[in-house]
């Protein structure tokens, strides 16, 4: 057997420990019997691995009391609320939301700060203040093991460089590097695109839980998305995949800020909706969008016509996504979720006309389960993806003799 294929016993154990930890993180409290069944390891191995995680202060184990059936009750393994946690941050144009999120996806503490001028320096300073404030509110035994930040822009995945965030007016901001040096301690910092992270969150903990092939499309002023193929997020070579808003619907369409024209965003973004409803550009904003949606729901023109036009554009976009990815579900979020709610029939008609029948039948159109917190939860999941493996490796290094 070639040397490279030999797996050392401590590597197998580390792999198994991280598998158990990931199960507890993904599914919350579960019995040893459930762990045994889902990991395909024997009962004594599971008992031993869980014991190790208990000693490391990551999980608790208890024997459920009352209502016992015949035979031994299976121990319940649950994440500890004073164990490891990550700092999750969502950077928006006018606010920063920070949260301490523990194993199992539990949000322990959450802060929201209004930021008038979201310059890179102001955002980094605010995140550092939030990290200190959250740490002070967590139990003394709880340790910060990673940081995940959601940004509305294109992100270079490898190092967390924000290449372009048009609404923040950022270009080439090394946010990952700035936070790493500011927060110190060799802390793992990951930056993600807000829509990609929304997709990750809805897949792990929201509307698309348990599904393996999912597309997420989210639209307010901008239109973005994320794609899950066979259970894994699709990021592309540099991390820029999922730009659903810049699929071209018509080569002769309106100009787009990306440099092309006729992009999806120019047909189904909020600016298209408002212009279609006859609103002047200087009155654009969330209040105008809410008014148009309310008018459309009441059947008043020209709002109803504007929503119908956007709905047709949304249906065409969904048809493209269905033909390319053959998803089990498409999760439609933010203002586009309102369009879906008001004009579902029109959208389904357009999908039926444009998507191939074989793929179309499988795709359910869903709305998100996590609401406004999807990107924040996604940021915590991004941090945990790296932290769960690192935790096991790090503790091993600490505890190894000599
Ligand atoms: Zn574009």
- 230-284 pLDDT, tens per residue? 999 999 998 889 999 999 999 999 999 889 999 999 999 999 999 999 999 999 9
Cα 204 to ligand 1 centroid, rounded to whole Å: 29
Task: Kindly report which listed range (70-79, 166-175, 214-223, 339-348) carries the lowest average pLDDT score.
Answer: 70-79
Cα 369 to ligand 1 centroid, rounded to whole Å: 28
CATH class entry, domain 207-368: alpha beta
Cα 259 to ligand 1 centroid, rounded to whole Å: 6
pLDDT given for residue 400 in this prediction: 41
The tens digit of pLDDT for each residue in 287-340 reads: 999 999 999 999 999 999 999 999 999 999 999 999 999 999 999 999 999 999
- Of all helices (H) and strands (E), which one includes residue 96? strand 95-102
Cα 237 to ligand 1 centroid, rounded to whole Å: 20
Q: Which two tokens stand for residue 117?
A: 């001028």
Task: Kindly report which listed range (129-133, 266-270, 368-372, 378-382) carries the lowest average pLDDT score.
Answer: 368-372
Residue 2 predicted with pLDDT over 70: no
**What is the second-level CATH architecture of the domain 85-197+374-399?**
2-Layer Sandwich (3.30)
Domain boundaries, the chain: 3-79, 85-197+374-399, 207-368
Same fold, 3-79 and 85-197+374-399: no
Q: Which residues contact 258 (CB under 8 A, 6 or more apart)?
A: 246
Residue 69 predicted with pLDDT over 90: no
Q: pLDDT averaged over the chain? A: 91
Region for residue 186 given its phi and psi (left: phi exceeds 0; alpha: psi -120 to 50; beta: otherwise): left
Strand order in the sheet with 76-79: 30-31, 76-79, 59-62
Task: Kindly report which listed range (64-68, 300-304, 358-362) carries the lowest average pLDDT score.
Answer: 64-68
CATH for 3-79 (1.10.3720.10, 1.10.10.10, 3.40.50.2300, 1.10.1040.10): 1.10.10.10
Cα 29 to ligand 1 centroid, rounded to whole Å: 44
């Amino acid at each position: 057997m070639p040397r490279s294929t030999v797996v050392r016993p401590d590597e197998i154990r580390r792999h198994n420990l991280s598998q158990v930890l990931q199960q507890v993180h993904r599914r919350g409290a579960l019995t040893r019997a459930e762990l045994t069944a889902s990991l395909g390891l024997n009962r004594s191995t599971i008992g031993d691995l869980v014991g190790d995680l208990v000693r490391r202060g990551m999980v608790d184990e208890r024997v459920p009391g009352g209502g016992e059936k015949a035979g031994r009750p299976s121990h319940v393994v649950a994440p500890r609320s004073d164990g490891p946690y990550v700092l999750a941050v969502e950077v928006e144009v006018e606010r920063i939301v920070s949260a301490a999120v523990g194993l199992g996806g539990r949000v322990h503490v959450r802060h929201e700060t209004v930021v008038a001028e979201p310059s890179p320096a102001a955002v980094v300073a605010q995140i550092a203040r939030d990290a200190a404030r959250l740490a002070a509110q967590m139990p003394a035994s709880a340790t910060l093991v990673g940081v995940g930040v959601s940004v509305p822009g294109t992100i270079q995945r490898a190092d967390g460089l924000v290449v372009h965030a048009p609404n923040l007016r950022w270009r080439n901001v090394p946010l990952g590097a700035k936070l790493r040096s500011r927060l110190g301690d060799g802390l793992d910092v990951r930056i993600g695109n807000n829509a990609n992270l929304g997709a990750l969150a809805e897949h792990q903990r929201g509307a698309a839980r348990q599904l393996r092939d999912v597309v997420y499309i989210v639209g307010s002023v901008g239109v973005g998305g994320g794609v899950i193929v066979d259970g894994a997020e699709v990021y592309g070579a540099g991390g820029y995949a999922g730009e659903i808003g810049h699929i071209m619907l018509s080569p002769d369409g309106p100009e787009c800020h990306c440099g092309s024209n006729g992009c999806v965003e120019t047909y189904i973004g909020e600016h298209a909706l408002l212009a279609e409803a006859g609103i002047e550009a200087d009155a654009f904003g969330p209040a105008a969008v809410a008014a148009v949606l309310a008018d459309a729901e009441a059947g008043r023109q020209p709002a109803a016509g504007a929503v119908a036009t956007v709905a047709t554009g949304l249906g065409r976009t969904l048809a493209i996504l269905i033909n390319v990815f053959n998803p089990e579900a498409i999760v439609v979020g933010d203002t586009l979720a309102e369009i879906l709610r008001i004009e579902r029939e029109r959208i389904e008609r357009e999908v039926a006309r444009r998507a191939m029948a074989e793929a179309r039948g499988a795709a359910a159109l869903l709305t998100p389960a996590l609401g406004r917190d999807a990107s924040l939860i996604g940021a915590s999941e991004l941090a945990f993806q790296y932290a769960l493996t690192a935790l096991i490796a790090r503790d091993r290094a600490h505890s190894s003799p000599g």
